[in-house]
Amino acid sequence: MSIKFPRILRLGTSGEDVRTLQDALTQLGYNPEAIDGVFGPQTQTAVTTFQRDKGLIPDGIVGPATAAALNRALVLPAYLKLGSRGPEVNVLQAFLQQSGYDTGPVDGIFGPKTRDAVISFQRDYGLLPDGIAGPRTWTVIYELVRPR
């Protein structure tokens, strides 16, 4: 999902683009409450929290920088958890291994050792230590590996 907003979104705006924003925030684990197309106080709080998490100016306004950050966050891999398999798990395991977390073999299988490594990583970076590599965990990983 790639989102584009034809205008700046802020408290008081409404429309389909606000609904799209609310849906994106919900997918990323931020709670705008209702997905109703009305940019109210809860949507503003969700935007501000997202901005703060991404190192943006937490002004609660969705302009080009916030829209770009939303798009980056939305293309991160899906939730990975105990029992997940595939190339995304390999990427997660390789990153964790390179960062000093023991996942066991880099084999594309999200087993108990990978779960424990994810929990340790999440604790170290102030995330909810649930052992699930979801959007917030991937966002931190992305921030750590992106070129500066």
- The residue that leads in pLDDT, 11 or 54, is 11
Instruction: Please report the domains of the chain, with CATH numbers, ordered by start residue.
Output: 16-74 (1.10.101.10), 87-145 (1.10.101.10)
Q: Are 103 and 93 in contact (CB under 8 A)?
A: yes
Q: Are 46 and 56 in contact (CB under 8 A)?
A: no
Q: Look up tokens 């790639």; give the residue.
A: 2
pLDDT digits (tens, 9 = 90+) for 102-138: 999 999 899 999 999 999 999 999 999 999 998 889 8
What's the mean per-residue pLDDT of the chain?
Answer: 89
Structure tokens at 128: 């909810």
Distances (CA, A) of 21 to 40, 68, 77, 96: 12, 12, 19, 31
95-102: average pLDDT:
92
Lowest-confidence region among 6-10, 81-85, 143-147: 143-147
Q: Number of C-alpha atoms within 13 angstroms, CB side, residue 27?
A: 18
pLDDT digits (tens, 9 = 90+) for 57-92: 999 999 999 998 888 777 766 689 999 988 788 889
Q: Phi and psi at residue 40, in whole multiples of 5°? A: -100, -170
